[in-house]
């Protein structure tokens, strides 16, 4: 079983409530091969919501200056729980997200600038032996 970002599966869970499905990921879910998860909503954040970015020190800040680190940490732990429950050893996540991104994420300045780094959930999954790859 593959854990996938719910927004890649076409769920309306992005910060802007837009729908942006990836056809391959949707097919995996329809075939029963993947479980869709949105860490930010599992962490208790609403949809739509004010966008957040991860700072170099690991905190996650919303664009209005509110510290959302706790919600992101909770969402990551709940996502890990689901991954274990479903026996996932692989995750296919949305690129650049402060939760799901891996390798390159936005740098915390809200200027569209990318930097090396990992979203909170992607990092937790990797630390627990789950292989993470990203899709645009």
Which residues lie near ligand SF4 (CB under 6 A)?
5-7, 13-14, 38-40, 94, 97, 99-100
- The nearest distance, CB 52 to ligand SF4, in angstroms, is 9
**Residue 114: which residues within 8 A CB-CB, separation 6 or more?**
96, 104, 105, 106, 107
Nearer to ligand SF4, 68 or 94 (CB): 94
Residue entry with tokens 């599992």: 42
The radius of gyration of the chain's CA atoms, rounded to the nearest angstrom, is 14
Nearer to ligand SF4, 20 or 27 (CB): 20
- The nearest distance, CB 31 to ligand SF4, in angstroms, is 19
Nearer to ligand SF4, 64 or 135 (CB): 135
H/E element, 80? helix 69-85
């Amino acid at each position: 079983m593959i854990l996938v970002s719910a927004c890649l599966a076409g769920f309306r869970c992005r910060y802007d409530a837009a729908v942006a499905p990836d056809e391959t990921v949707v097919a995996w879910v329809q075939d029963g091969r993947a479980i869709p998860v949105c860490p930010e909503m599992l962490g208790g954040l609403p949809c739509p919501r004010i966008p957040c970015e991860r700072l170099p020190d690991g905190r996650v800040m919303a664009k209005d200056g509110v510290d959302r680190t706790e919600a992101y940490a909770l969402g990551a732990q709940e996502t890990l729980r689901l991954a274990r429950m479903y026996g996932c050893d692989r995750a296919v996540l949305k690129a650049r997200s402060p939760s799901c991104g891996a390798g390159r994420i936005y740098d915390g300045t809200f200027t569209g600038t990318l930097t090396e780094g990992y979203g909170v959930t992607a990092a937790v999954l990797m630390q627990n032996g789950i292989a993470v790859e990203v899709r645009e």
